[in-house]
Structure 1
Amino acid sequence: MPHITRAASWIALTTAATLALTSCAGGAAAGGDPADVDPDGEITPREISWLLSRPADGGVITAMEKIAEEYAADHPGFALNLITTPDRPSYIQKYETLAAANKLPELFDTDATPFAQKLAEQGRMLDVDALLEDLGMADDYREAALNYQRFDDGSLYMVPFEFQLEFFWYNSDLFEQAGVEVPATLDDFAPMCEALRAEGITPIALDGADGWPLERYMAYYPFRQAGPEYVQKLKTGEAKFGDAPGRAAAEWLYGLGQSGCFQEGFSATGYADAQAQFTSGRAAVYNIGTWELANLATENLDAGVRDAVDYFTLPTTASAVTADNEYVTPSGIGMAVNARTYDPLVRDFLAFALERYPAAVAESGALSPTVGVETAIPANATPLYARAIEQAGDVGSAIAMPWDTQLDPATNTRLQQELTLLVQGDITPDEFVETMDAALAENVG
């Protein structure tokens, strides 16, 4: 959970940036023509910049650095300047401050947030649907990868560079020891946890310190009961936490806490420690994405648990409106193109990079956001690796969007704080709903 002082400063800075952004809306210098994806003129090499929120040694940056070097070899004077800030709250501060000052670089990372949609409405982001169509790549991308980047009105202003599937990884030996089956519905989680606890097994390993993993659980029940539309309405104030989907989620999470589903002291457990609890065989379930395949589906995994590890996808509910193959399938933070600085050079580089990127990322063993490329399975992979990759071919179009990319920063911070209290049993579902609806009314209005 973010420190309250840090969170407060982040919220204040974001609010100031939003006000400044609103004040410059409609200004002549705010943006170019977002639909002019093939501008006239000479390709004049220069340095262009990409404001990033990705790991510096991650697959996306590694691949794009190599591609940029190849492009520069044929275009002397070109350079791609990567401005990297992996810490997401710090990145958002920088991104929104630069946006308010109209100083965003040629390329910049953003989720499909209300703030980003304001930029798009002001003509400050290039129409990516039009760009991909113009480049002949519109049919190359996975539908789910593009849908993750779209705004609620269906418009597309970000290019995906990743594609992930989020699973519940589980230890079949521990399940057998406790006499439990893979949960068929979300309501099966609480009895599963109780049976595992009775055998002295920690049911679910959770990174509670970072906030977003527990927030994933908050998204599950509403997604199954009401589809992705619930959080879309929630973030605009058209829906409330007290509505049936939100209340059901609160009661379900409270029940998970009362059933001892998460490890003792989960709120102080970080990412690496939570993963270690699962990979060492101390916890039975771990909810994480395919970005962890190298640690969960290769010989890097402890030999003592390697053969017992398997996964299941998001269980359903009795009255589900989404399909079994629809769950959290993110394509990561997207890359937006600054319409004001878009010119023949930027277009030419993007055409070059987007054509070569899929093969480069697939070669690294990761899923590409495009179809038509085959992911390289590492030599030390277990059979689970290939099965997880194949699962990407059977993904529905509805996506359980991570709420931390949907809600405004102030509401999101409060939600993460209240979720911890709810699961710990420090507040009731009624108190949770009342507090969150008050926060929503204050922040969204």
Structure 2
Amino acid sequence: MTMPTTRYARSGGVNIAYQVVGTGPFDLLWVPGWVSNLEMSWEVPEYARFLTRLASFSRLILFDKRGTGLSDAVPIENLPDLDQRMDDVRAVLEAAGSTTAAILGASEGGNLSILFAATYPERVRALVLAATFVKRVWSPDYPWAPTPEEREQERVMLEREWSGDMGLADLAPGAVGDPALMRRIATFFRRRASPGAAVALNRMNTEIDTRSLLPALTAPTLVLCRRDDHGVSAEESRWIADQIPHARYVELPGDDHLPWLGDVDGLLDEVEVFLTGVRRGPDPDRRLATVLFTDIVGSTEKAAELGDRAWHELLEKHNAVVRRELDRFGGLEVDTAGDGFFATFDGPARAVRCACAVAEAVRALGLATRAGVHTGEVELVDGTVRGIAVHIGARIAAEAGPGEVLTSSTVKDLVAGSGLRFRERGAAQLKGVPGTWQNYLVEP
């Protein structure tokens, strides 16, 4: 799925960024936790897959809370409270033409969802709370929350580590063994908010207490929690569900606090069946992959110059070189058409290095190739590889010049720390692909 258009709703003189994606039979508002960035969300494959699944059975409405992401910045000393953010939600729903919606709130976003559902019950058809807390500082009657001292230590750590891993091991313990994924998540968080805003919002969240609203909720409610979540305990989630009339509680295996990491399909299966009554499950033939397209520049002219026999012999040498490099870097040849190759990789850095190696090797044959690399979700159908990611990769390759390897911004972000160097090529309209795409040239 390509990035949807970002629009703006006015709320009390502030611009609130929002997007609408999907054409499902009901509206679903996604309320993220803490901080967010609409457009960056689609550039993180794991998050994009989460949102795409939600949009597959709903008309999904997304927004950035004021002070974060693409919404207007606000003074750190004057951050919005839950009431103001509730007004922002109402403004977004009205701008999106939504009169009633299901709401899915995660972590701190669950509190905003609770407040909106309790205040405007006529506008909420269902409520889903994932990894949600309703109080964020310890008290004898709420023993699951961190102590004030622990919250202060967390703020000190955030301010000190916002340029590093910012304590993500607690939010995404399943990613600890994957340095590239951890860097990707950290970059995502930095683009969501400044360090000052992140710390100030953390301080504001410490003051949240929506316990008194739970008995007033009337919408059908699902409470989800992963059993070993480091941020919200299962006991805490069960208590929350017990306070909500007729709420359903589902405890899932796992320890990732971020709902778009870990066993995402297991969590979304529960969301989908609760909201639609159908347990469809994920498409078993969809997966994340890096696609590589290469072809020979000026092949028609070269063939005319050499004649059929000589050209065929040269083409066979070219194909042997490409296949050698695919084998060397772990690529899987999907298709060969004329003088072009389409291959997939399980890692973007290997795909980029393979493309560079091909470009270098064919120079000895008097040839120049162009290549395009993109990472996204693909469909496997009867042994073929399909999907919008395939079209994007092919279109990026078509933008490359002789000897060039072009990549999408997704690939550039995924290979951070690999030693590969890039130069911004600029935004391009890719034929047949909606939106504008930022391409990057791989430097030698």
TM-score w.r.t. the length of structure 1 is 0.28
Larger radius of gyration: 2
TM-score w.r.t. the length of structure 2 is 0.28
Structure (1 or 2) with the greater strand fraction: 2
Structure (1 or 2) with the greater helix fraction: 1
